[in-house]
Amino acid sequence: MGRYFNTLRIGIGISIDGSKAVHDQFRLDHKGNGTFDRVSSKFKKYKNKIDDGIGILSVINIEACPVETVDAFFDLGGTRVDFLLPEANHVKAPFTPENVNYTYGSWLVAAFKAWNENPKKAK
């Protein structure tokens, strides 16, 4: 599989939203079970078979600690991530729970800082 994607220069991204607890909060299979174990095992299995690695697509959960979220990605062996805002549009803003420590902007700033300062980051 990796050779096919490498030959065609196709990038791969897998949706993982942070630690097992954070990811399994919203990413459920048809039986209502969390999908973190399945998704993370596939990520680990294939990450070294694609020349450019596999990217992580993560929907921001501002109830989760951004530093712990970034740490979870490094623990998986992630080398790049795209953070996505929860579903929203010009009429409906992203859901913002009450009594959270972050806005979406401050969460992203904290995640960026954690990514750049993480000792697990490849040099």
Determine what percent of the chain is predicted with pLDDT higher than 70. Answer: 96
| pTM (two decimals) | 0.82
What DSSP line would sit under 7-75, residue for residue? HHT--EEEE--SSHHHHHHH-B-TTS-B-HHHHHHHHHHHTTTSTT-EEEEEE--TTS-HHHHHHHHHH
C-alpha span between 44 and 18 (Å, rounded)? 15
Structure confidence at residue 121 as a pLDDT band (50, 70, 90): low
Structure confidence at residue 122 as a pLDDT band (50, 70, 90): low
Cβ neighbour number for residue 56 with a 10 Å cutoff: 22
* CATH architecture for residues 2-117: 2-Layer Sandwich (3.30)
Q: And the tokens for 70?
A: 């970034």
Which pLDDT tens digit goes with each residue over 20-64?
Answer: 999 999 999 999 999 999 999 999 988 888 777 788 999 999 999
Q: In the chain, where are the structural domains located?
A: 2-117
